[in-house]
Amino acid sequence: MIFSMTGYSTVARELPQGTLNLDLRAVNHRFLDIQFRMQEELRVVEPGLRELITSKVSRGKLECRLGITQATAGVASLDLDQELTLQLARLGSQVQALLPDSEPIRIIDVLRWPGVLASNALPPEELRDACAALAHDALEDFNRFRAREGERLKAFILERVARMEELVATIAPRMPQVLAAYQEKLTARLREAIGSADDDRVRQELALFMTRSDVDEEISRLGTHLAEVRRVLDRGGTVGKRLDFLMQELNREANTLGSKAADDDVSRTAVELKVLIEQMREQVQNIE
């Protein structure tokens, strides 16, 4: 399966404390770059989320937004432990009696005492479990989105590969015709210049022309690279970098073919090949 680096997913889960929301958005990137956007009280789950995402995604610039909406808006989710507060007050009075010069206990000190204020927030371990379950759902949806995009990119590239194979197949059969036309043109020029056609001179010029215009190697390499593109796409997986390298190789051969163009038809074919390669290269940048 081919995956696009572009993807999106948003999921939510209802908890007694509120609604937990997770958004994943990704665009293409050379490597995997994960950026987290979350409330400070949720930072405890970041390492686990990073590890989970890394196990499912290989490349791309991915933004992960995590947030929780309180179940009751505008109401503080803190409860006072009255029994513990009374105990602190009694202890404070006893200390004040023993040490008259000491400062009385302040309200802020009481509120900061461990256990005086109880929050209805999820304990860290339960929060990690809830976020991990939510992330699993988000990543499944996210990867389904990327797979659909990947299939579209694969079809796009294979269409261009098929067209390139057709174009390459038209070049080799034209070479005998190109050679015959050049021989006729060269003979006419020699006759015009020296009044006769020197067969040895014609043969030498033809041999030089054939050496400069021999495109068999370029045609062979183009065919090999196109077959490799098909093989890589069929294999699937993380193939973006491999495909990008093949686009560079295809472009190199198309440029050489254009520089050796023996006639206008071959030159136009080389230009069309380069246009198709550039179209593929742009789409390959989005493949994981």
Residue 197 has a pLDDT of 56
The answer to whether residues 27 and 140 belong to one domain is yes
- Same domain (yes/no): 138, 101: no
Predicted pLDDT of residue 39: 85
pTM: 0.74
Q: For residues 212 and 182, give the distance between their C-alpha atoms in angstroms, rounded to a whole number.
A: 13
User: Which residue is associated with the tokens 């030498």?
Assistant: 204
What's residue 188's pLDDT? 73
Do 83 and 212 have their domain in common? Answer: no
- Domain boundary residue, one of 111, 146, 181: 146
Count Cβ atoms below 10 Å from residue 264 Cβ, excluding itself: 8
* C-beta separation of 9 from 58 below 8 A: no
Query: How many structural domains is the chain composed of?
Result: 3
94 within 8 A of 123, measured Cβ to Cβ: no
Model confidence band, residue 73 (pLDDT cutoffs 50, 70, 90): very low
pLDDT digits (tens, 9 = 90+) for 227-286: 999 999 999 999 999 999 999 999 999 999 888 776 788 889 999 999 999 999 999 999
More confident residue, 249 or 201: 249
Note whether 137 and 216 are same-domain residues. Answer: no
Most confident of 89-93, 183-187, 254-258: 254-258
Closest alpha carbon to 134 in 240, 10, 245: 10
Half-sphere exposure of 115 (CA within 13 A, CB side): 7
Predicted pLDDT at 275: 97
| Domain contains 2 | no
Q: What is the pLDDT of residue 120?
A: 55
User: Same domain for 132 and 234?
Assistant: no
Residues 271-281: tens digit of each pLDDT: 999 999 999 99
Q: Which of 11-20, 47-56, 97-106, 230-239 has the lowest mean pLDDT?
A: 97-106
Q: Which domain range does residue 270 map to?
A: 148-284
118 has a pLDDT exceeding 60: no
Q: What is the DSSP letter of 238?
A: S
- pLDDT grade, residue 100 (50/70/90)? confident
Regarding whether 112 and 229 lie in a shared domain, the answer is: no
When the pLDDT of each residue in the chain is averaged and rounded to a whole number, the result is 85
Residues 101 and 200 in one domain: no
* pLDDT of 204: 67
Of the two residues 66 and 107, the one the predictor is more confident about is 66
In a domain, 1, yes or no: no
Question: From CA 21, how far away is CA 23, in angstroms rounded?
Answer: 7
d(CA 216, CA 203): 21
Which amino acid belongs to residue 140? E
Question: Going by DSSP bridges, is the β-strand pair 18-27/7-15 parallel, antiparallel, or unpaired?
Answer: antiparallel
Better-predicted residue by pLDDT, 16 or 26? 26
Whether residues 154 and 276 fall in one domain:
yes
Out of 13-27, 125-139, 151-165, 195-209, pick the least confident.
Answer: 195-209
**CA 38, CA 73: separation in Å to the nearest integer?**
19
The least confident of 98-102, 133-137, 176-180 is 176-180
